[in-house]
Amino acid sequence: MSFEAFRQLVQEWATAGYLPEALAYGFVVNALLAGLMIGPVLGGLGTLVVVKRFAFFSEAVGHAALTGVAIGILLGEPYTGPYGSLFGYCLLFGILLNFLRNRTGLSPDTLIGVFLSVSLALGASLLLMLAGKINVHILENVLFGSVLTVSGQDLVVLGFVAVLVLALALPLYNRIMLASFNPQLAAVRGVAVKTLDYLFVVLVTLVTVAAVKVIGAILVGALLVIPAAAARLVSQSLKGFFFLSVVIATVSTLFGILLPIVFDLPVPSGAAIILVAGMCFALAALARALVPRLQGNPA
Amino acid sequence: MTAAANLVTGFGPRIEFAGIDLTLGRTRILEQVGFSVAAGSVHAIVGPNGGGKSSLIKTLLGQMPHQGQLTLHWPSEREVIGYVPQALEFDRGLPMTVDDFMAAMCQRRPAFLGLSRRVQPAIDAALARVGMLDKRKRRMGALSGGERQRVLLAQGLIPEPQLLVLDEPMSALDEAGIQVFEQLLKGWRQAGTTVLWIEHDLEAVLRLADRVTGLSRKVLFDAPPAQALTPERLLGLFSVHPRSESLAS
């Protein structure tokens, strides 16, 4: 069954009353499908981001997306999906950052601080130079995400990235984690530590860029961090950590997309998604404070 | 790894260091280091902090650009090195149980899916050997330093190594842990595993090693412990470096 036919079927069922009313709109179905791909992938990869202390990096890559969009528009790509420039610029950003981290001896947060601000300055300059050419609402969409504009092409890009990231990250999950515990031990066990570091940077970048449309450049990094951070607070094993992170990210994405539509709130999808995720984090912190068992193993 | 593969244990390799030089930046870390480690022996390396012990191990593990000749003479085609690092860098609050950690070390299947059936018997056996079987569901961060050290020893047992490189394995061990370690050492000696062992505890070296090399940038002595660990030699070894450490340990 083609995607179009599937979407029409969902819309028909919604119109007939079998499914929630909001699904009668094509764009809602698109956005939810995007959410169903974004949530699990960001939630799962997020556990590695937290283990490897890459949170600030993923934030920075998200922000780099803003500059990527600006470059795309400047180069004449369609402003609804300047994927060439987005992927190109963000990958360059991530790989260069990792390269310099290995070469300069600067601590990652210092280096990211430099890259992030320079990239933002470049993006802001380009976007304001272009301001005359483009509708200013596009900027809002890029910054905070929009469910209205998720197209079939976006879903294809997202689906492709999701499959690629899962196919690479799952078989390498243990190795990526091991490399951060003790690089030397990892190397003895046959892990190509440096190559995996680059691969991880690329995976985080791909996922981040693919999710920009729905969550927005400012907040996309947060969905890699908050669900995993919340899951870390209340879980006692890697199994709980991983799956809870996936569930929180998915639930946040779906609720963040649906709630503003159902309650007719003028809230951008990215902000709503992160607010839901933030509430999950608050609940997890509360649960940890109230249930002593969650704070560590009993002796 | 199958149980059958577990039993196949040949003699460990003989290792020859010859004229090893290592310079990092402007600092000379190792200078004309040469000694050999007999196949199947327990060989200790002692020396002051900053004397190049860890760098020598990194060189052996192929992690350092060095000059000179380093040869491993493997007795068979199977070439398995086990490594037990001094410590792990991880977030102590990470929800990772002992089982999760062993899974992450020893199997391809993502650790969050649990132990794979293929590796589980080996992990069970390794945890039993270090006396951590009853604590396998504990979080790594909640273990004591000694218990974590035992888990590190357990991962070094899978797959069964022919050469084991130990970086101060006893530093965090308590009394019971030291007994576990001595049992392991006995087992390796019987199996003919070559053990290269960095250690601070000179009494333990005297008791347990077949041979000991004193390293402080250069090889200062290389002999059986009873001959090597004399007060004069130790004084020489630990006085060369400005940050020398107590002999009393």
pLDDT at B30: 92
Nearest to B19 by CA among B78, B80, B68: B68
Residues in A closer than 8 angstroms to B99, CB to CB, are: 237
Q: Tell me the two tokens of residue B207.
A: 């008791």
Query: Is the distance from CB of B131 to CB of B159 less than 8 angstroms?
Result: no
Q: Which 157-176 residues of chain A touch chain B by CB within 8 A?
A: 170-171, 173-174
CA distance B232 to chain A (A): 35
pLDDT tens, position by position, A22-71: 788 888 888 999 999 999 999 999 999 999 988 899 889 988 988 998 89
Whether B202 contacts chain A with CB within 8 A: no
| ipTM of the shown complex | 0.88
Please judge whether B108 and A297 are an interchain contact, meaning their C-beta atoms are less than 8 angstroms apart: no
Q: Tell me the two tokens of residue A246.
A: 């996936």
pLDDT at B231: 84
Q: Which domain holds residue A236?
A: 3-295
Q: Is the pLDDT of residue A295 over 90?
A: no
Residues in B closer than 8 angstroms to A232, CB to CB, are: 93-95
What are chain B's domains? 11-80+161-243 (3.40.50.300), 88-158 (no CATH)
Find the mean pLDDT for residues B64-80: 89
Please judge whether A238 and B112 are an interchain contact, meaning their C-beta atoms are less than 8 angstroms apart: yes
pLDDT at B6: 43
Q: Which helix (H) or strand (E) holds A78?
A: none
Q: Tell me the two tokens of residue B23.
A: 């310079």
Residues in B closer than 8 angstroms to A293, CB to CB, are: none
Antiparallel, parallel or unpaired: β B81-84 and B14-24: unpaired
Using CB atoms within 10 Å of the CB of residue A289, give its burial: 0 to 12 exposed, 13 to 18 middle, 19+ buried.
Answer: exposed
Find the mean pLDDT for residues A263-289: 93
pLDDT tens, position by position, B168-222: 988 888 888 999 999 999 999 999 999 999 998 899 999 999 999 999 999 989 9
Q: Tell me the two tokens of residue A154.
A: 């976006």
Best mutation site among A45, A172, A177, A193 for testing chain B: the one with the most B CBs within 10 Å?
A177
pLDDT tens, position by position, A207-257: 999 998 888 888 888 999 999 999 999 999 999 999 999 999 999 999 999
pLDDT at B238: 83
Distance CA B93, CA A263 (A): 39
pTM (2 d.p.): 0.88
Best mutation site among A238, A247, A295 for testing chain B: the one with the most B CBs within 10 Å?
A238
Q: Tell me the two tokens of residue B131.
A: 């006396």
pLDDT at A95: 94
Beta-carbon count within 10 A of A49 CB: 24
Q: Which 133-152 residues of chain A touch chain B by CB within 8 A?
A: none
Q: Is the pLDDT of residue B17 over 80?
A: yes
Whether A194 contacts chain B with CB within 8 A: no
pLDDT tens, position by position, A106-163: 888 899 999 999 999 998 898 888 877 777 777 788 888 887 788 888 999 999 999 9
**A95-99, B7-11, B223-227: range with lowest mean pLDDT:** B7-11
Using CB atoms within 10 Å of the CB of residue A221, give its burial: 0 to 12 exposed, 13 to 18 middle, 19+ buried.
Answer: buried
Calculate the average pLDDT of chain B: 87
Distance CA A121, CA B69 (A): 52
When divided into structural domains, chain A yields a total of: 1
Residues in B closer than 8 angstroms to A242, CB to CB, are: 110, 112
Using CB atoms within 10 Å of the CB of residue A298, give its burial: 0 to 12 exposed, 13 to 18 middle, 19+ buried.
Answer: exposed
Please judge whether A296 and B83 are an interchain contact, meaning their C-beta atoms are less than 8 angstroms apart: no
Please judge whether A174 and B113 are an interchain contact, meaning their C-beta atoms are less than 8 angstroms apart: no
pLDDT at B240: 58
Phi-psi region at B109: left, alpha or beta (left = phi > 0; alpha = psi -120 to 50):
beta
Instruction: Measure Cα distances from B29 to A12, B129, B167, B212, B216 in Å.
Output: 74, 36, 17, 20, 9
Please judge whether B83 and A241 are an interchain contact, meaning their C-beta atoms are less than 8 angstroms apart: no
pLDDT at B3: 44
Nearest chain A residue to B143 by CA distance is A297
Find the mean pLDDT for residues A291-296: 80
Which CATH number fits the domain that encloses residue A161? 1.10.3470.10
Q: Which helix (H) or strand (E) holds B12?
A: none
Residues in B closer than 8 angstroms to A174, CB to CB, are: 103-105, 107-111
pLDDT tens, position by position, B73-115: 998 888 899 999 988 888 888 999 999 999 999 999 999 999 9
CA distance A99 to chain B (A): 19
Nearest chain A residue to B103 by CA distance is A174
Range among A215-219, B1-5, B44-48 with highest mean pLDDT value? B44-48
Q: Is the pLDDT of residue A10 over 90?
A: no
